[in-house]
Amino acid sequence: MSLISFPHFLNKYLYVWLMFLNKIDMGIISISIPESLLQKVDSYKREQGFANRSEIVRQAVRDYISESKKLSELRGKITVTIAVIYRREAKRGQIADLQHSYGNAILTFLHTHVEEDRCIEVVVAREEAHVIRALIEALKANKQISEVKVTIL
């Protein structure tokens, strides 16, 4: 069966319609997230017109799988930018140690304070795909880092 690609804003209507017709079986998961993130989810739900929180989570999971799949399929040397967001009080040494351990892959990085309590680092890296994947996985596994966004060039 081939899937038709719809613009993002139509996806929610398509899924609601298909659910109504019982064409999509849904499993149920339960997640715990910080209250501040839940407030952002609710705000995004209103702004983007999602039917409910579940629709936002489903879209985020689809995006995550798509991003992971693309990265996992790459071979050879690749160049990426990685945006890393973390709280200012994070132990900077752990993040610096991680960057030093991938020093051969990291070409450059920019560090700035974007809000009173948050920092962002933009890393430009070039190396074999498996090394870049390991770097990204290490960043995502670090509990002090709240967000990791990857752009493959």
**What sign for the dihedral angle of Cα 56, 57, 59, 64?**
positive
Domain ranges of the chain: 8-24+32-71, 76-152
pLDDT digits (tens, 9 = 90+) for 113-125: 988 888 899 999 9
pLDDT digits (tens, 9 = 90+) for 42-59: 998 888 888 888 888 888
Residues 138-143, mean pLDDT to the nearest whole number: 90
DSSP 8-class letter at 26: -
| Strand bridging mode 118-128 / 106-115 | antiparallel
18 has pLDDT over 70:
no
110 CB contacts (<8 Å, ≥6 apart)? Answer: 121, 122
How large is the C-alpha radius of gyration of the chain?
18
Residues 70-99, mean pLDDT to the nearest whole number: 83
CA distance 122 to 42: 28
Residue 4 — very low, low, confident or very high, per pLDDT cuts 50/70/90?
A: very low
CATH C-level class of 76-152: alpha beta
Kindly report each contact of residues 14-17 with a partner whose C-beta sits within 8 Å and lies 24 or more positions away, as own/partner: 15/55, 15/58, 16/51
Residues 32-42, mean pLDDT to the nearest whole number: 90
The pair phi, psi for residue 110, each rounded to 5°, is -120, 135
As given in the structure block, the two tokens for residue 136 are 């990204």
**pTM value > 0.85:** no
pLDDT (0 to 100) of residue 19: 55
CA distance 44 to 42: 5
Residue 61 — very low, low, confident or very high, per pLDDT cuts 50/70/90?
A: confident
